[in-house]
Structure 1
């Protein structure tokens, strides 16, 4: 019987670059590779500490002059829909959900391109080609699903979410939808449906990525009751978004070595051969 101890993950820092959310600020990310037999345990553990997945990488903001980006999740048990969210549910009742293995299709890419061209033409993903799109969808070492929403009458794909299944919830890695239905509130509705998915599977949280107070791109996340943000090394209930001000964002502060030292890693379980 032989025991093999897995190598502890190594953490790195990206070079500073302009922040996509707040003008005049620079962003930097702390990241590590997501690979091997322990990938799911690592993803679960770090997601609970404010990290996000992008293909086979886990990352978390580590900016020197700002700590504005706050990882956000919805406590499913505490969520109560607003009147406008109830209207979004009714408006999209004709859409059918279908969850599949993470496999990219031409229909998905065509919808993705329409979404980017209409909503994020100047964003970092604007030049993504079909091969890069396929990599975004398919390169995942953990349990991921592509959730497609189709019009039950026309069978047209209206919206898509790349979703990870965690031990304590579902994580919406990236979502896109038709830009031709602005009154449908499809972005809001997809989050509402993921709350339903979490409930159906007995999972307590829906992870939404980062919420950035002061960024119009991220404002919609604060409209969900039951929202929690990861700040000060712990998850905190969002009581009033107005208490967060871009002027009050503290510096990132901690040296990288200290940040890494404070990350809780999953048990290094030995494997048997």
Structure 2
């Protein structure tokens, strides 16, 4: 008798320098996402801390470090604080659209500008247009690119100031990668706004969670994630409230 779902085969990468904590090395366990039950597999792996990159699901599996912690926002209970409410008001004029996962030159140009400002010298700065197209378009699950544009008076498409590659899972939205105009003189905090917009979208769709990926204590690059409360983190005993 054949099992209805093939158990995935997992592999482990070789250790490499950690991008978050100096002096540490990282190792990942991963599996390929393919076959007729890919979305169910991706949902199940997402609930135990895996992330998706193209057709691969991965999570940290470091030998001497457990710093990477999966976190997710409880969408139905999220209540923005005073600073976040101000940010929502400041950007309420943006035109937001969930687009099919199709890479555009405009998105790639914004990504390059974002990386040069926020992550100079990082691995993603070496991406070319084909690499970006692969990141966006090679998705075996339900994905879309949420675009954030400035309004116009004639109804035409306004300037793109933010975007996020997002997966819709069975229990929430998973923010795969977001980028934005980090030099905009009138719209500081766009990255935080994009997260809040996803939380509100999840709530409107009846989805309980927004998955933010990994939080690393002591990494300044990850501090922004703990501003969105209530937040849950994945520990040895499952998901628990972030105190």
TM-score, structure 1 as length reference: 0.84
Query: Are the equivalent residues in 1 in contact too, given 2:182–2:188 (CA < 8 A)?
Result: no
Unaligned runs of 5+ in 2: none
Unaligned runs of 5+ in 1: 240-273
What do the CA deviations read for 1:131-161 (whole angstroms, capped 9, x no partner)?
0000000000000011001001270011000
Query: Are the equivalent residues in 2 in contact too, given 1:91–1:184 (CA < 8 A)?
Result: no
Matched, 1:224 2:224: no
Matches of 2:165 and 2:4, distance apart in 1: 32
What does residue 266 of structure 1 align with?
none
Matches of 1:86 and 1:213, distance apart in 2: 26
Structure with more contact order per residue of length (Cα contacts < 8 Å, sep ≥ 6): 1
Matched, 1:177 2:180: yes
Alignment of 1:85-100 (within 5 A): 85-100=84-99
Query: Are the equivalent residues in 2 in contact too, given 1:118–1:179 (CA < 8 A)?
Result: yes
Matched, 1:167 2:170: yes
SS of 1:184's partner is coil
SS of 1:115's partner is helix
What does residue 207 of structure 2 align with?
203
What does residue 32 of structure 2 align with?
33
Q: Give the superposed CA RMSD.
A: 1.4
Alignment of 1:75-154 (within 5 A): 75-153=74-152
Structure 1 segments, 4+ long, off by >6 Å, are none
Matches of 1:29 and 1:4, distance apart in 2: 28
Rg larger in structure: 1
Alignment of 1:229-240 (within 5 A): 229-239=233-243
Query: Are the equivalent residues in 2 in contact too, given 1:147–1:163 (CA < 8 A)?
Result: yes
